[in-house]
């Protein structure tokens, strides 16, 4: 079954893959790493323009390391989860200082970089260097849950059984394994989607365990949707937007105007969120604690 899945999906990918800049023949390992960090919890359509601007400005890790962390946060624009920008800046500094400015191709060395967890390390090793690793993002886990395990969705958290299944499906040679890894991911992004899978367009529908079982509905624990309006995340985002736009220290009064009392869930929310930005390294207070700015 594994060889049939691999052949069908790799052939489908060759004919249907999106032309994304971090997949082009002239891509660099740094460009792949940047894309993987940006794509965490953020759709491709939002990432691509920011990635292009970022890579023009900082085409190598050393270029980014020479800039300030605040510059990285400002260039992150509205991708969300801005701590990723700080971690990417820290990783670039580590690559410059520990690896002579060259993204390492060793999986263990990738793992210890700031903000580069198990998934991102495997993705960079696979997509940048063509190595043989199980790359398990949300899309891949969903495809394997349906095609191999006959379930509508993967478990809420990655399991050892999932990892064993993914590893067992890897082709023996590195090049084919890397192609398979990206093909499964692309199928999950374009066809085998979470809410409305396009099973009529799926190249493996005739051998998909979930389809063969009659497409049973998900029967696991409820999945909570992410809220946004009125949350601390929204307030933090509004405060950070003011700091990004300013290019100078911002007075507390300007931050208060950006998030007026009527928009708060509780009287302490704005102060709590501002303190959180400082704690996370996304903002720095001035000497009098009445001004704030992006990190230097």
pLDDT of residue 38: 97
Beta bridge partners of 112: none
Helix axes 29-38, 118-127, angle to 10 degrees: 140
Q: What is the pTM of this model?
A: 0.92
Q: In this structure, are residues 207 and 5 in contact, taking their beta carbons and an 8 Å threshold?
A: yes
Residues 6 or more apart whose Cβ sits within 8 Å of residue 186:
13, 16, 17, 18, 139
pLDDT of residue 50: 97
- Catalytic option among 4, 36, 48, 118: 36
Please give the backbone phi and psi of residue 83, each rounded to the nearest 5 degrees, phi first: -60, -20
pLDDT of residue 14: 95
CB atoms within 10 A of CB 9: 23
Mean pLDDT for back-to-back runs of 10 residues, the chain (296 residues): 85 96 96 97 95 98 98 93 96 98 98 95 98 96 96 93 94 95 97 95 95 90 71 93 92 92 91 96 91 94
Q: In this structure, are residues 215 and 207 in contact, taking their beta carbons and an 8 Å threshold?
A: no
CB atoms within 10 A of CB 219: 8
Residues 6 or more apart whose Cβ sits within 8 Å of residue 295:
68, 69, 70, 73, 86, 281, 282, 283, 284
Active site residue 4: no
All domains of the chain in start order, with CATH = 1-15+134-225 (1.10.1670.10), 28-127 (1.10.340.30), 232-293 (1.10.10.10)
pLDDT of residue 225: 61
pLDDT of residue 1: 60
The torsion angle over the Cα atoms of residues 147, 152, 154 and 160, rounded to 10 degrees, is -50
Beta bridge partners of 251: 291
pLDDT of residue 230: 83
């Amino acid at each position: 079954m594994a060889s049939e899945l691999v052949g069908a999906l790799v052939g489908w990918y060759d004919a249907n893959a999106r032309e994304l800049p971090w997949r082009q023949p002239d891509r660099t390992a740094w460009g792949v790493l940047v894309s993987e960090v940006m794509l965490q919890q953020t759709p491709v359509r939002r990432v691509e323009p920011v990635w292009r601007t970022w890579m023009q400005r900082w085409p190598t890790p050393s270029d980014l390391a020479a800039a300030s962390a605040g510059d990285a946060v400002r260039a992150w624009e509205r991708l969300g989860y801005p701590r990723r920008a700080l971690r990417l800046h820290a990783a670039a500094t580590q690559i410059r200082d520990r690896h002579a400015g060259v993204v390492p191709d060793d999986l263990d060395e990738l793992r210890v970089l700031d903000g580069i967890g198990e998934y991102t390390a495997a993705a960079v090793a696979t997509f940048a260097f063509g190595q043989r690793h199980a790359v398990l993002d949300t899309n891949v886990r969903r495809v394997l849950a349906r095609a191999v395990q006959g379930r509508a969705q993967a478990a809420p958290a990655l399991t050892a059984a999932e990892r064993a299944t993914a590893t067992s499906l890897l082709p023996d040679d590195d090049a084919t394994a890397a192609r398979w890894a990206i093909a499964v991911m692309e199928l999950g992004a374009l066809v085998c989607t979470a809410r409305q899978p396009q099973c009529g367009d799926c190249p493996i529908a005739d051998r998909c365990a979930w389809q063969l079982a009659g497409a049973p509905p998900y029967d696991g624990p409820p999945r909570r949707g992410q809220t946004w309006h009125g949350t601390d995340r929204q307030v933090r985002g509004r405060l950070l937007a003011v700091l990004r736009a300013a290019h100078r220290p911002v007075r507390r009064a300007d931050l208060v105007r950006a998030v007026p009392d009527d928009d708060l869930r509780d009287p302490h929310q704005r102060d709590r969120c501002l303190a959180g930005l400082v704690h996370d390294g996304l903002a720095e207070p001035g000497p009098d604690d009445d001004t704030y700015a992006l990190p230097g």
